[in-house]
Structure 1
């Protein structure tokens, strides 16, 4: 599998991908990039691998975090950054019959999907997000039939891919029933791209309460994990009403939209600012922002705590760029950053770019396009991406006409 964003907008702004890197790199390439980052900035001495964090607690008398790890070591820290990610603990739908499929090994979560290297006759993929779409596309070259199920989808077919709506039942004989009453027979295997839970097993209830927070304002005391969101946090980072200072801990990477690595870099700047200068965190102003967001989501979704929780860390494309700008402004760096317009342009065109790049790969021309790009700076990547968009538009591909005006 590859990234679904061009690496030139996804990379840390302080550390671009190497010249000639494919526009949409593989997981192995991204892994090598992250290792190179660690080596370049001499981070390895501060990274302890093959070690599990087993328990973390706040020591009030010492005003420090006490961390117990799998080696038996107990370490205390002034500050704690929680960056364990939220794409590890799968979320499974409670569809009737699914538990039996999982127990029998006929269904797996996309968390365990690595490559389309197994042959199957009829494969079912569940989920409309990027993983569900990518796995459907990957497996369509290996399975005789791929059934892609997503809530709200109208039934249809495209080549060997069948589009179906929400599943209402998995049956032991391999039959799957959908919400419109249609059925698919003899389904061999199912991959569930149904999302993940926020999980912090190393915290007990003295740090995070594992339940839905009280959904009526004012903002509740404590810190809650609904499995859909962490609440209440200032800037999606700092606990506001917990038993420990908000400037002693930060939860990184919770938002469900945006460009990951560059967003993490912006968040890291805000975290360093808060740890170093805690007085800069305006508690009242941040609580007012939470009240406003709650009121907005309540108006949009109604008195539905679960829907509000699901939407809490989900930010729109425009909001993701505004969020990074706000983080930069808060951090007060010597050279305040703004998300550049070209990056927004490429984010808007990411679908067209990926489609055109796949065509170049199939034609055996992709390597030629990126050969030497980046040797003379990042502007070369911007021009390359714009060339890809222009090429897609020049072919009058369906769906590309709306992008013409954004290409300069």
Structure 2
């Protein structure tokens, strides 16, 4: 069977690839690990693999493929953003700032540089990733401008290799083989745009004396100035929807924010009109679920998230796309995405497809509503040790039963795992990270120092912090607060002091704010 599949792959590859003079055949050692993506997840797993004891990874070939010009993932700006329908390299927009304080966003043991704003612009976060890669000497293992086109498994449930087709920086195609693939390429690439009855008729019926009507996903949103004197509906209350609404309303003639829960709007300003969800369109108006309608709109921005797609696995027939899949019992023949949830996976990490070993294909960075770097770090340590020692993982059938139990527990608490996807609900992100590391400690892969992986200060509730930093900026006293802040403990103390300072001020002035949106 192995020889047959290898023969089939060779025939397919010969049809896909250009003449031999343009193809580079690369020999690989017997133990080879490929990471795909150099954002926060990819850098975390690359470091964790290199942190393994030298005797555990002796003779390994460890390589990371990144299709863009540098590390940083979505934080790396796109110098020439594509126009619809071509997808841009990143959804990053120039005015983007973090919506969580940077100490909580860091890789453990690697704080942001001194004097970094508590909620900085995206340039600081991109530089942080570059600093991390350079500090731990990761760059020699990273192949920039290398795009993974397809990946398929040749072998069986216990042995085999991944056949990977790449396009390099010279646009040549390369075939490489790897024993393990770690997918770390993020999930903000393929926009999810809802469809509504009547929208095509609305788009066709632009007013003769007005601008042409248009719809676009927030992946193409960049500057609010584009919407000057336009009338705009922003759909969605996630981070991109909130930012687009708060920025566009300053420039637009009128801005509506269409959200599910109108009782607690995430953006409150006199220049923004909050509306419920869209019901449908007519040729002249947008109709909302409460029966109200607006007819003066010429632009709709959808901040409606992304579909969970991994094209190079789809191309290699290793991932099936089944948008209506809602049961692990129905699809037991391989890996499936319903565009919200990738399954079956052990701990949101290891593929439980029956066609290859349980540690052959893994994913870093799927969890949502988390601080990415610490979550990525915990997952990466888990994956690195399981790649080094496959016996750390129970049998596939045991892991499938464990997954079924986890999904049943979510159902019992009112969550459909096939809808919420990889969201960490009810603050479970910290327990999730701790449990991954505790498992390794219990099985002797890591020393048990009696400490939790997630530091206590990351778990503290600081409800006044963001408003406190806004007041610090308004008073232009940032340096007074940031002076002398260097270590992780310094940053933790800064957040505590600032939270207390702001909380005391609000109570003294009788100010009550609605709860902040839950970003992690």
TM-score (norm 2): 0.70
1:238 and 2:329 correspond: no
Cα deviations by residue, 1:120-144 (Å, 9 ceiling, x for unpaired): 4422111012222222222333334
Distance, in Å, in 1 between the alignment partners of 2:493 and 2:261 is: 38
Partner of 1:324: 433
Query: What residue in structure 2 maps to residue 132 of structure 1?
Result: 241
Q: Aligned partners of 1:238, 1:121: CA distance in 2, in Å?
A: 47
* Residues 192 and 304, structure 2, Cα contact 8 Å, conserved in 1: yes
Paired with 1:315 and 1:163, the residues of 2 have a C-alpha distance of 28
SS of residue matched to 1:14 = coil
Question: How far has the Cα of 1:20 moved from its partner?
Answer: 0.9
Describe the shift of the 1:99–1:29 C-alpha distance in structure 2 as closer, same or farther (beyond 3 A): farther
Query: d(CA) in 2 for partners of 1:262 and 1:152?
Result: 30
Deviation at residue 298 of structure 1 after TM alignment? 3.3
Residue of structure 1 in register with 2:164 after alignment:
67
Pick aligned residue for 2:273 from 149, 153, 162: 162
Pick one of 80, 83, 101 that aligns with 2:184.
Answer: 83
Query: 1:216 and 1:320 mapped to 2: Cα distance?
Result: 23
Equivalent position SS for 1:81? strand
5+ long unaligned stretches in structure 2: 1-95, 205-211
Matched residue, 1:378: 488
3-state SS, counterpart of residue 469 of structure 2: helix
Match of 1:314 among 423, 441, 465: 423
Specify the alignment match of 2:254 in structure 1. Answer: 145
Distance 1:177 1:155 in 2: 21
In structure 2, the CA distance between the partners of 1:356 and 1:269, relative to structure 1 (3 Å rule), is same
How far did residue 380 of structure 1 move? Answer: 1.5
2:318 counterpart residue number: 207
CA distance in 2, matches of 1:368, 1:361: 11
Q: Is the CA contact (8 Å cut-off) linking 2:327 and 2:418 kept in structure 1? A: no
Secondary structure, counterpart of 1:56 in structure 2: strand
**Matching residue of 1:294:** 407
Which aligned pairs between 1:207-356 and structure 2 lie closer than 5 A? 207-211=318-322, 212-213=324-325, 215=327, 217=329, 220-283=332-395, 284-301=397-414, 307-332=416-441, 333-334=446-447, 335=449, 337-345=452-460, 348-349=461-462, 352-356=464-468
How far apart, in 2, do the equivalents of 1:270 and 1:362 lie? Answer: 43
Mark the CA change 1:114 to 1:362 in structure 2 (over 3 Å): closer, same or farther: farther
Correspondent of 1:20 among 115, 121, 124: 115
Using the alignment, how far apart are the partners of 1:317 and 1:26 within structure 2? 28
Q: Secondary structure at the match of 2:143?
A: coil
| TM-superposed deviation, 1:287 | 2.6
CA apart distance, 1:183 = 1.4
Closer, same or farther: CA 138–355 of 1 in aligned 2, 3 Å: farther
Larger radius of gyration: 2
Secondary structure, in 3 states, of the residue corresponding to 2:257?
Answer: strand
Match of 1:52 in 2: 147
Q: Is the 8 A contact 1:120 1:189 kept in 2?
A: no
CA distance in 2 between counterparts of 1:14 and 1:49 reads: 26
Q: Aligned partners of 2:467 and 2:197: how far apart in 1?
A: 37
The reply on whether 1:365 has 2:477 as its aligned counterpart is yes
- 3-state secondary structure, aligned to 1:203: helix
Q: CA deviation at 1:301?
A: 4.8
Count of aligned residue pairs for this structure pair: 392
Aligned CA RMSD, in angstroms, stands at 2.7
Paired position in structure 2 for 1:406: none
SS at match of 1:246: coil
Structure 1: state its 5+ residue gaps: 403-408
**Map 1:105-124 → 2, pairs under 5 A:** 106-118=214-226, 119-124=228-233
Shift of 1:159: 0.8
Deviations 1:311-336 (A, max 9, x none): 24111253111100011112333345
Inter-partner Cα distance in structure 1 for 2:193 and 2:104? 32
Secondary structure of 2:424 counterpart: coil
**TM score, norm. by length of structure 1:** 0.88
For 2:162, what is the secondary structure of its paired residue? Answer: strand
